[in-house]
Chains A and B, each alone.
Chain A
Amino acid sequence: MRARTRTTRRVVVLAAVASLGAGLLAGCADDGKSSASDDSSSGSGKGQTTITLGLFGTFGFKEAGLYTEYEKLHPNIKISENVTEKNENYYPALVNHLTTNSGLMDVQAIEVGNIAEVVATLANKFEDVSKISGVDKSNWLDWKWSQATTKDGATIGLGTDVGPMALCYRKDLFQAAGLPTDREKVGALWAGDWNKFITAGEQYKKKAKAGTFFMDSPGGLLNAILSSEKEKFYDSSGKIIYKTNPAVKDAFNLTAKAAEEGLVQAQPQFAPSWNTTIAQSKFATIACPPWMLGTIKGNAKAEDAGKWDVAVAPKSGNWGGSFLGVPKSGKHVKEAEELVKWLTAPEQQAKLFKVQGNFPSAPSTYTLPEVTGAKNEMTGDSPIGTVFSEAAKSAPVQVIGPKDQIIQQGLNDNGVILVTKGKSAAEAWDTATKTIDNNLDK
C-alpha cells in the first residue's frame, strides 16, 4: 500500500514539475508570435483573415465606420484594432516590438514626431508601401510623402491626416479688448510675422477682460512658431543645429518675451488645469490645427458655441498627423497593404474629416464639398475647411529629425515654461539646452 502510493506521488510530482516547466517554456516561446495573428486559423472557420491594427489616441477609423465598410467590400477580411491611448506609451513599445520582431500588429501607426527616427533607424523593418500597386504618390501632399521616405527612396508609411495650423480666437474677448473680430481682419493683423502677433497681444493686454490671457501657453506659442520654420532642429544634411539656428533662438526669445509680459498663461497644454481654463473662457487665442477644435469643443462650455473663430496664422505650419506602416514580420503583409492603401485613399480621408475632423493629407480632397463645406459647432459658420486647406498647402516642407520630440520637449518643458515663473530668458535657455544635450548624448 505505502509503496504503491509513493509511486503515485512520484508520478504526480513529476507531472507537476513537468507541467510547470512546460508552462514556463511555453510562456517564453509564445512570445515569439503575435497572439492576434492566430485568429486566421482559429477564426470563424470560413477562411477569414483578421487584420490587426496597432494605433494610438483616436484615429477614428472605427468611429467613421471605415472598418465595417471595408469588411463589406472584402468578406474574407476581419479588422481588429488595438489602441494605446497615449503615443508616449505606444511608441516605446512599438520600437521594442520592431527591434525584437515580435508582438507586432499587421499595421502599425507612426506619429509624425517619431517618423524621422523610424525612417532613420528602423526603415528596414517595414514594407516599402510605395511599391503597393495602385498607390499614387501624387495623392499626398509632397512634404507628407517625403517625411516617411528614406534616402534610398523607400516609403515606410502612408500618410493619414495632417495638422495645418491656424489660430483659434475668441471673438467676444477680442471685441472687449478693442481688437477686430472679423477673421480676415484678424488674419491681417499679424499676417506674415510672429512679432506682429506679439504686438497684437500687447494691444490685447491693455484693454483685456480681467483674468484673461492673450494666448494659452508658452509651449503652444513656441510650437506654433517653430512649426512654421523650414529648418528648426536639424539641417537638411541631418546635423543637429538647434542651438545655433537663429530661427530657434528667435522663436525661443519671442516666446520668452510673451511670457515675461504675461501674454501667455503658465499652463502646460493638455494639463487638467489647462482644460479648466478653456472652460472658464480665459484664453483669447490658441494655436489651432483642426484636431484642436475637438479639444476645445471637449472642454468649453456649451454656451461658448459660436464664440470662437479661426483665422490664418502669421505663418503656416503643421502640427500633428500620422502614418500607417506595414511591418515586414506581420502575418498578413499583402492583406495589410491593401487595407492601408484603402484607409489612406483620398475618399476615406475625406470621410474621416467629415466625421472626426482629422484633416486630410490628400490635397485632391480640399475641393470636395466634405472639406469646403465643413463647419464646426464652436466656430459657428466659419469655413474651417478653406482656412485649413490654405494652411496645409502653404505649410513649409519642414526638415524633421529623429530627436525632434526630445529637443522640442526640452525647449518647452524645461525652457520657456520657466520664464512664466520669473526666470530670465537666458537662464531658461541654459536649463533647456543643458537638459537637451544630456538627453541627446548617447
Chain B
Amino acid sequence: MATRHDTAAPPAKEGGAAPGRPPAAAADAEQLRRARLSRRWQRDKRWSPYAFVSPFFLLFVAFGLFPLLYTGWASLHQVELTSPTDMTWVGMRNYTRIFGDDFFWNAAKNTLTIGIISTVPQLMMAMGLAHILNYKLRASTFYRVAMLAPYATSIAAASLVFVLLFGRDYGMINWALHFGGIDAVDWQNDKWPSQIAVSTIVIWRWTGYNALIYLAAMQAIPQDLYESAALDGASRWKQFLHVTLPSLRPTILFTVVVSTIGASQVFGEPLLFDANKGASGGAEHQFQTLGLYLYEQGWVNQHLGRASAIAWTMFLILIVVGIVNYVISRRLRASS
C-alpha cells in the first residue's frame, strides 16, 4: 500500500529554483536524468522490500536467533546464574545426563498426560460449542464475545481463582462434591486430581478460542450441502457427521497442531497452581511440566547449563512432534 501513496504526496520543495527551464538542451539532459532515475528506481524496487521487512528480522536475530545459539553454547558448559561468564566446558554431559534424569522424564510424561487431558476434551467441547453457535441465536455476538473472554484473561488471575476453587479444605469444588457424597479430593497433592485441575485451567482458557475458529470455518461451508443432505433425509446429527466434520478437516488439523504446541509449553498454569511448591510442580513433582522443570533448573537452582540443555532437548522434541504432525496432515490431505 505504501507505494501507492506517492500520488497524494505533496510536491517536494523546489522553491522557484528554476523558473524558466531552457527548452533547447533539454532532450539530452532529460534522457540522462531518466536513465539515472530508472537505475534508482530499479535499486529502490529491489532493495526497499528488504528494508521494510528488516525490523522483523533484526528483532528475530536479537531476540530469537542469538538466544537460541547462545543457549546451545551454554548447554555445553557448566555455568551458574550467579556468574554467567564463568563457563566450564563439559561437552555433551548436560545432554547425556538427561537420559538418566528421572525428573526430566517425569516432567515429559506429565507434559504428555496434561496435554492429552487438556487438548482432547478442549477441542471436542469447542466443536460442540461452535456447532451450537452456528444456529441462528438471539444475541449471538454476545455469546461469541463471551467465548473469547477467558482467552483474554491473564493466566495469573485465572489460575489464582482456580486455586481457590480447587482448595482441599475450603474450595468450592470439594464443597459441591461433598453434596454428591464424595469425600474431599486433595486437588494439589494427588497425582491425577492435580493434573486434571491444571488441565481444567487450560481447557477453560482455550476452548472459546478454538470454538471461534471452528465457527468461522463452519460458516464458510456452503448452505446447499446441508439442504441437499436434508432433502436426502439426513438428520441434524448425520449432517454434522457427514457434512460439517469432513469440511472442517483442515481447520481441525490446524487447531490440533496449535494445541499440541501450546500443550508442550504449558507453564503458567502449573507454576501458579501450587504457589508454595512453585516450580517443583507439587510435593512429588506430580504436575511438573517440562517448561516448569526448565524454569526450576535455570532460575530457582541457577544451573544455566543444565537448563539450556533441557531447553534444546525440548526444542528437538518439538521439532519431532512438528514433523509427525506434518506427515499426518499430508497423509490426511492426500486421502481426502
Contacts and interface: CB of A to CB of B under 8 A. Distances in A.
Given A271-B276, A438-B103, A1 B11 contact: yes
Interface stretch (B78-86, B138-146, B149-157, B328-336): B78-86
Given A6-B44, A272-B163, A273-B168, A435 B280 contact: yes
A420 to B, nearest CB: 8
B81 A99 contact: yes
Contacts of A13: 48, 51-52
Given A272-B163, A442-B306, A117 B62 contact: no
Interface string A1-41: 11111111110010001001100100010000000000000
Given A5-B9, A273-B167, A413 B82 contact: no
B9 A276 contact: no
Interface stretch (B112-120, B223-231, B293-301): B293-301
Contact of A9 (B9, B80, B284, B296): B9
B83 A5 contact: no
B62 A418 contact: no
A368 B16 CA distance: 87
Interface string A402-442: 00001001000110011001000000000100110011111
Contact of A414 (B102, B167, B284): B284
A295 interface: no
Given A5-B12, A92-B299, A271-B275, A442 B80 contact: yes
B131 to A, nearest CB: 38
A383 interface: no
Contacts of A273: 167-171
Given A5-B7, A17-B51, A421 B186 contact: yes
A1 B48 CA distance: 21
Contacts of A2: 6
B78 A442 contact: yes
Contacts of A121: 80, 82-83
Contacts of A9: 3, 5-6, 9
Contacts, number: 121
Interface string B78-105: 1011111100000000000000011100
A439 B33 CA distance: 72
A121 B80 CA distance: 10
A96 interface: yes
Nearest to B50: A17
B11 A99 contact: no
Interface residues of B, number: 59
Interface in A258-287: 266-273, 276-277
Interface in B268-323: 275-278, 280, 283-285, 296-297, 299-303, 305-306
B164 interface: yes
Nearest to A435: B280
Nearest to B5: A9
A413 B305 contact: no
Contacts of B306: 441-442
Contacts of B58: 21, 24
A24 B283 CA distance: 44
B55 interface: yes
Interface of A: 1-10, 13, 17, 20-21, 24, 28, 88, 92, 95-96, 99-100, 117, 121-122, 266-273, 276-277, 406, 409, 413-414, 417-418, 421, 431, 434-435, 438-442
28 contacts: A3-B33, A4-B11, A6-B40, A6-B44, A8-B10, A9-B9, A10-B44, A13-B48, A13-B52, A20-B55, A88-B278, A92-B302, A99-B81, A99-B83, A117-B82, A267-B169, A269-B276, A270-B276, A272-B164, A273-B168, A273-B169, A414-B277, A414-B285, A435-B103, A435-B280, A438-B101, A439-B301, A442-B78
Given A20-B55, A439-B300, 15 more contacts: A6-B41, A13-B48, A17-B54, A24-B62, A92-B299, A92-B300, A95-B302, A266-B189, A273-B170, A406-B301, A414-B284, A418-B283, A421-B190, A431-B284, A440-B301
